[in-house]
């Protein structure tokens, strides 16, 4: 039996969803009920599972839309925890005062409590919970200690019934996160060959190496891929421009789904829609260009055959 089935989750297609459009961003203008409904009607039918990054206003409306419109989605809901320690290894050099870090700790506790509240409020929709996202990897700007993450996982497991995880790059799971493995119900890894300068033709093999490195290290713990995808634009910083295109995204997506479907590895593709608010102000900043759909909701090449009606 594939270990994914130990989660008591039927295998299905999964995608990361964040609905922020032009002029919208977390902490600013949020997508409306109508905009989120439009998005989910686009995604319905191709994807069973959605991953939401935070238990904020956006996620609350997503859950309301799914419930009121009776849409066929299950949700992995996360709490986006912020820095509790300075990480001087962060390439873009974010630093915090001690006062800010203490405030962040209080914020994180409140976020975890909100996660638990929403999990209990929408038990038929929320199927799994994450205690954070990329908060322990060496380069993060929102660094949180493994000990603290373990505390949050225990908080969630005490008050909510859904399986609990922590979403992180595959590398920390091989060493730094060993103490966390015993606490989570399943491991969630992120793998991005294009960020590691891999050519498209080497990308699936590299993804498999990343996955099996973790899965083989912890054979009794289910491993889910909560982020894997391919950018379609780059300014050349961090990702070679010649490696990104809609054609390469289509190749990677199709190869990834063929493998993960055959092996029944639950995999959240990153991501549904482009998000212009992310990263630097530069239009070709790679963080802005991971969607299978553009920010105007028209499909990129990988989705164009499936969504011809959106092109007319």
Q: What per-residue confidence (pLDDT) applies to 305?
A: 85
Q: What per-residue confidence (pLDDT) applies to 4?
A: 52
Distance separating alpha carbons of residues 268 and 45, to the nearest angstrom: 15
User: What is the arithmetic mean of pLDDT over 178-192?
Assistant: 97
Q: Are the beta carbons of 186 and 224 closer than 8 angstroms? A: yes
How many C-beta atoms surround the C-beta of residue 81 within 10 A?
A: 26
Q: What per-residue confidence (pLDDT) applies to 1?
A: 36
Residues in the chain: 312
Which range among 94-98, 150-154, 202-206 shows the weakest confidence by mean pLDDT?
94-98
Identify the band that residue 308 occupies on the pLDDT scale cut at 50, 70 and 90.
Answer: confident
- Using CA atoms in the order 5, 6, 8, 13, what is the torsion angle rounded to 10 degrees? -40
User: What is the arithmetic mean of pLDDT over 178-197?
Assistant: 97
Distance separating alpha carbons of residues 227 and 10, to the nearest angstrom: 19
DSSP 285-306: -GGG---SB-TTS-B-HHHHTT
Q: Are the beta carbons of 109 and 134 closer than 8 angstroms? A: no
Q: Which two tokens stand for residue 222?
A: 């289910």
Distance separating alpha carbons of residues 186 and 164, to the nearest angstrom: 7
Q: What per-residue confidence (pLDDT) applies to 128?
A: 98
More confident residue, 293 or 5: 293
More confident residue, 309 or 246: 246
User: Over pLDDT 90: what percentage of the chain?
Assistant: 90
Q: Are the beta carbons of 167 and 183 closer than 8 angstroms? A: no
User: What is the arithmetic mean of pLDDT over 2-7?
Assistant: 52
Q: What per-residue confidence (pLDDT) applies to 7?
A: 62
Q: Which two tokens stand for residue 302?
A: 């990988």
User: What is the arithmetic mean of pLDDT over 70-93?
Assistant: 95
Distance separating alpha carbons of residues 213 and 203, to the nearest angstrom: 15
User: What is the arithmetic mean of pLDDT over 74-85?
Assistant: 98
The pLDDT tens digits of the residues spanning 162-176 come to 999 999 999 999 999
Q: What per-residue confidence (pLDDT) applies to 295?
A: 97
Global pTM?
A: 0.96
Would you say residue 283 has pLDDT above 60? yes
Distance separating alpha carbons of residues 144 and 292, to the nearest angstrom: 31
Q: For the chain, give every domain's residue range.
A: 3-311
Ramachandran area for residue 188 (φ above 0: left; ψ -120 to 50: alpha; else beta): beta
Q: What per-residue confidence (pLDDT) applies to 311?
A: 63
Q: Which CATH number fits domain 3-311: 3.30.70.890, 3.20.20.80, 3.40.50.970, 1.20.58.100?
A: 3.20.20.80
User: What is the arithmetic mean of pLDDT over 276-303?
Assistant: 95
Crossing angle between the packed helical segments 57-68 and 98-121, to the nearest 10 degrees: 10
**CA 78 remoteness from chain centre:** 9
Mean pLDDT, the chain, integer: 95
Q: What per-residue confidence (pLDDT) applies to 169?
A: 98
Q: What per-residue confidence (pLDDT) applies to 285?
A: 92
**CA 228 remoteness from chain centre:** 9
Which range among 1-5, 79-83, 282-286 shows the weakest confidence by mean pLDDT?
1-5
3-state secondary structure of 199: coil
Ramachandran area for residue 78 (φ above 0: left; ψ -120 to 50: alpha; else beta): beta
The pLDDT tens digits of the residues spanning 5-36 come to 456 688 999 999 999 999 999 999 999 999 99
> What sign for the dihedral angle of Cα 49, 52, 58, 59?
positive
Q: Which two tokens stand for residue 67?
A: 């419930």
3-state secondary structure of 252: helix
Q: What per-residue confidence (pLDDT) applies to 237?
A: 87
The pLDDT tens digits of the residues spanning 233-281 come to 999 888 999 999 999 999 999 999 999 999 999 999 999 999 999 988 9
Distance separating alpha carbons of residues 280 and 273, to the nearest angstrom: 18
- Which letter does DSSP use for residue 12 in this model? -
Would you say residue 3 has pLDDT above 80? no
How many C-beta atoms surround the C-beta of residue 307 within 10 A?
A: 16
Question: How many angstroms separate the Cα of 59 from the Cα of each of 31, 65, 81?
Answer: 10, 10, 15
């Amino acid at each position: 039996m594939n270990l994914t089935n130990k989660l008591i989750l039927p295998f299905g297609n999964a995608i990361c969803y964040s609905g922020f459009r032009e002029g919208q961003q977390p902490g600013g203008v949020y997508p409306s009920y109508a905009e989120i409904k439009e998005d989910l009607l686009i995604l319905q039918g191709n994807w069973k599972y959605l991953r939401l990054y935070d238990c904020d206003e956006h996620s609350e409306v997503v859950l309301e839309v799914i419930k009121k419109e009776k849409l066929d989605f299950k949700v992995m809901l996360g709490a986006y925890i912020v820095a509790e320690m300075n990480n001087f290894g962060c390439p873009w050099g974010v630093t915090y005062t001690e006062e800010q870090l203490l405030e962040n700790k209080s914020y994180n506790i409140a976020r975890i409590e909100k996660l638990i509240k929403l999990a209990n409020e929408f038990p038929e929709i929320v199927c799994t919970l994450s205690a954070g996202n990329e908060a322990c990897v060496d380069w993060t700007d929102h660094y949180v200690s493994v000990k603290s993450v373990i505390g949050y996982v225990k908080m969630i497991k005490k008050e909510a019934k859904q399986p609990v995880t922590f979403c992180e790059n595959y590398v920390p799971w091989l060493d730094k996160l060993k103490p966390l493995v015993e606490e989570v119900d399943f491991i969630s890894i992120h793998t991005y060959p294009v960020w590691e300068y891999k050519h498209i033709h080497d990308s699936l093999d590299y993804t498999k190496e990343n996955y099996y490195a973790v899965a083989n290290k912890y054979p009794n713990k289910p491993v889910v891929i909560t982020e894997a995808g391919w950018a379609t634009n780059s300014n050349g910083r961090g990702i070679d421009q010649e490696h990104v295109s809609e054609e390469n995204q289509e190749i990677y997506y199709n190869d990834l789904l063929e493998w993960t479907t055959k092996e029944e590895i639950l995999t959240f593709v990153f991501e549904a829609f482009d998000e212009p608010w992310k990263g630097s102000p530069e239009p070709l900043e790679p963080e802005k260009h991971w969607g299978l759909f553009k920010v105007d909701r028209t499909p990129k090449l990988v989705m164009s055959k499936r969504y011809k009606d959106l092109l007319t």
